[in-house]
Amino acid sequence: MSLFQGIRYFLLADNNKNKTLQLILGFYPKNQLLYEQAFRHKSVANEQVDESIESNERLEFLGDAILGAIIAEYVFIKFPYKDEGFLTKLRSKMVSRSFLNQLAVDIGLDTFIETSPNVNRSNSINGDAFEALIGAIYLDKGYDASKKFVVEKIIKDFIDIKKLIKEESNYKSKLIEWAQSEKLEHQFDTTLIDQTKIKYFKCELKLNNTLITIGEGSSKKKAEQAAAKKFFAQKSHD
Amino acid sequence: MSLFQGIRYFLLADNNKNKTLQLILGFYPKNQLLYEQAFRHKSVANEQVDESIESNERLEFLGDAILGAIIAEYVFIKFPYKDEGFLTKLRSKMVSRSFLNQLAVDIGLDTFIETSPNVNRSNSINGDAFEALIGAIYLDKGYDASKKFVVEKIIKDFIDIKKLIKEESNYKSKLIEWAQSEKLEHQFDTTLIDQTKIKYFKCELKLNNTLITIGEGSSKKKAEQAAAKKFFAQKSHD
């Protein structure tokens, strides 16, 4: 698959790539450089001598947040009578790593991504590039154009909201269903761990000899951090 | 404090409240109802017979996402040479629960919030209302106006970015510093938990008798969920 993708990418002339991208976007990109950056995996950027050639990581950071806002608004408007628990759950399914990875492949983004040849083109590279693309669109065309792209070109054509709502978030059930569909036998072998092999620590945080919080963790350090963190969390809720 | 806030709130005539809100916002609200909803804690909404009187929870969901996008863009533009690790860390400090709680009090939002009298007006009610206010501004005035409000009325006047960047995210060090400043003796008493009292489970997930993933947890169910979840996470990265 990854070799095939690489060949597809290199066979496309620049001119054709731009046309294909325009078709995916539904508009003419103003600042071409932003889109090139969105598709540039860090493995390629690191090879460049020119330090101004950036990878898509910063754009991915921006796009992730913009996409989160667009999807939040979409579910907010679409489901006026649903509470925030429902909205949060649906949104988190729509922006989950595995969902975005698949979406990126569905819209054909994988053919645009540049990686160095020795990189294993894992799925998450696709989802990352999708988020970076949203970042590029935002910087190129603004919030409303990004929203239009996500709603009209992505959600309308590629996302089955009804199916997503029904989708199981109980992983055990999900696995059982999946294994059955793939005709694989599955087994959950669950045992009590041999207790002499576990190390688990408890940290009592005291201020002026008064017990304030208790933290637990699999190392002394983790237990201490947990106790201190709990204290600050309680303080901020006072 | 909470009684005092209550009195302050009830003493303000509606007219004055609107003027104070305008001063905080820096613009004249078009849809007043949205702002009333943003300040309506669920304890008040639940008391209403009229079901169309909504609490601020849905607006908080929307505002949280819009604020996240605005802050992401702000740090993206402000720090063009910082990598996404730095941006992510700074953004998460700027949108953390405890930070927003304090911010809401600093800008005087606490005087606007309506709760039923028997509710303990914890700090998080303030942070939640701040997010709901961003949601209200977004629906009332759009993305650019929300951004202008956050950047010009909030970040410029109330957020010390330099201090935030330096701020310790190691909770133990933070606690030690804080205890010293408050002249409190502190103590971290950390002990290995009595191993006979812990129950800890391991779940081996097998497909066609091949070990696929191992999950652990403090109950059988948690260990199984962890094993199944790990499987789907690995699958999505293939």
For the stretch B179-187, contacts whose Cβ atoms lie closer than 8 Å and that sit 24 or more positions apart, written own/partner, are B179/A207, B184/A207, B184/A208, B185/A207, B185/A208, B185/A209, B186/A205, B186/A206, B186/A207, B187/A204, B187/A205, B187/A206, B187/A207, B187/A209
Chain A stretch 114-133, residues whose beta carbon is closer than 8 A to a beta carbon of chain B? 122-124
* Chain A residues touching B208 at Cβ < 8 A: 184-185
Which residue in A123, A187, A191 has the most chain B C-beta atoms within 10 A of its own C-beta, making it the best mutation to test that interface? A187
CA proximity to A68, closest of B105, B91, B201, B123:
B91
Answer with the residue of higher pLDDT: B91 or B97: B91
Nearest CA-CA distance, residue A15 and chain B, Å: 30
Q: What is the pLDDT of residues B69-91, one digit of tens each?
A: 999 999 999 999 999 999 999 99
Confidence class for position B6, pLDDT limits 50, 70, 90: very low
Question: Chain A contacts of B205, Cβ < 8 Å?
Answer: 175, 186-189
Which has more pLDDT, A126 or B16? A126
Q: How far apart are CA A206 and CA A214, in angstroms?
A: 9
pLDDT, residue A122, reads 76
Q: How many whole angstroms separate alpha carbon B128 and alpha carbon B143?
A: 19
pLDDT at A36: 94
B170 and A CB contact within 8 Å? yes
Give the Cα separation of A186 and B228 in Å (integer): 11
CB distance from B236 to chain A under 8 Å? yes
**How many beta carbons lie within 10 A of that of residue A200, not counting itself?**
19
Which pLDDT score is estimated for A35?
Answer: 96
B78 touches chain A (CB under 8 A): no
- Asked if B130 contacts B103 with a C-beta cutoff of 8 angstroms, the reply is yes
Shortest Cα–Cα distance, B180 to chain A (Å)? 11
Which pLDDT value is given to residue B78?
97
* Rounded mean pLDDT, B25-51: 90
CB–CB of A205/A182 below 8 Å? no
**3-class SS letters over chain B:** CHHHHHHHHHHCCHHHHHHHHHHHHCCCCCCHHHHHHHCECHHHHCCCCCCCCCCCHHHHHHHHHHHHHHHHHHHHHHCCCCCHHHHHHHHHHHCCHHHHHHHHHHCCHHHCCECCCCCCCCHHHHHHHHHHHHHHHHHHHCHHHHHHHHHHHHHHHHCCHHHHHHCCCCHHHHHHHHHHHCCCCEEEEEEECCHHHCCCEEEEEEECCEEEEEEEECCHHHHHHHHHHHHHHHHHHC
d(Cα A6, Cα A116) in Å, to the nearest integer? 10
pTM here is 0.78
Sign of CA dihedral B19, B25, B27, B29: negative
Q: Does A105 touch chain B (CB under 8 A)?
A: no
Q: Answer with the residue of higher pLDDT: B172 or B51.
A: B172
- Give the three-state DSSP class for A74: helix
CA distance A22 to chain B (A): 25
Minimal C-alpha gap between A20 and chain B (Å): 26
Question: pLDDT at position A236, please?
Answer: 63
Q: Determine which of B123, B143, B206 to mutate to test the interface with A (most A C-beta atoms within 10 Å).
A: B143
Would you state the structure tokens that stand for residue A2, as one six-digit string? Answer: 């990854």
pLDDT of residue A88: 95
Per-residue pLDDT tens over the stretch B158-213: 999 999 998 766 778 878 888 888 888 888 888 877 766 677 888 999 888 889 89
Q: Measure the CA–CA gap between B200 and A32, rounded to whole angstroms.
A: 54
pLDDT of residue A80: 95
What pLDDT is stored for residue A32 in this prediction?
A: 92
- Of A112, A128, A121, nearest to A32 by C-alpha is A112
**Which residue in A98, A188, A220 is closest to B190 by CB distance?**
A220
* Chain B touched by A84 (CB under 8 Å): yes
Q: What is the secondary structure of A181-209 as a DSSP string?
A: HTT--EEEEEEE--GGG---EEEEEEETT
- The alpha-carbon gap from B15 to the nearest alpha carbon of chain A, in Å, equals 30
Identify the pLDDT of residue B3: 39
The pLDDT of residue B238: 53
According to DSSP, the residues that pair with A75 across neighbouring strands are none
A184 touches B: beta carbon within 8 Å: yes
Task: Report pLDDT for B174.
Answer: 79
Cβ contact A40:B66 at 8 Å? no
Show residues of chain B in contact with A174, CB under 8 Å.
Answer: 228, 232
Asked if B106 is an interface residue toward chain A (Cβ–Cβ < 8 A), one would say no
pLDDT at B151: 96
Span B22-31, average pLDDT: 92
Q: Start-end ranges of CATH 1.10.1520.10 in chain B?
A: 2-170
Q: What is the pLDDT of residue B31?
A: 94
Domain formed by B2-170, architecture: Orthogonal Bundle (1.10)
Model confidence band, residue B231 (pLDDT cutoffs 50, 70, 90):
confident
Say how far apart CA A42 and CA B18 lie, in whole Å. 51
Closest in A61, A84, A223 to B190, CB measured: A223
Check residue A92 and give its pLDDT: 92
> Known catalytic residue: A131?
yes
Q: List the single best residue of A197, A210, A236, A238 to mutate versus B (max B Cβ within 10 A).
A: A236
Are the Cβ atoms of A193 and B216 closer than 8 angstroms?
yes
What share of chain B in percent tops pLDDT 70?
A: 90
Low-confidence residues in chain A, pLDDT < 50:
1-8, 10
CA distances from A40 to A34, A54, A110 (A): 10, 8, 11
Handedness of CA A116, A117, A119, A123 (dihedral sign): positive
Query: Comparing C-alpha atoms, which of B151, B13, B131 is closest to residue B70?
Result: B151
What percentage of chain B has pLDDT greater than the value 90?
A: 49
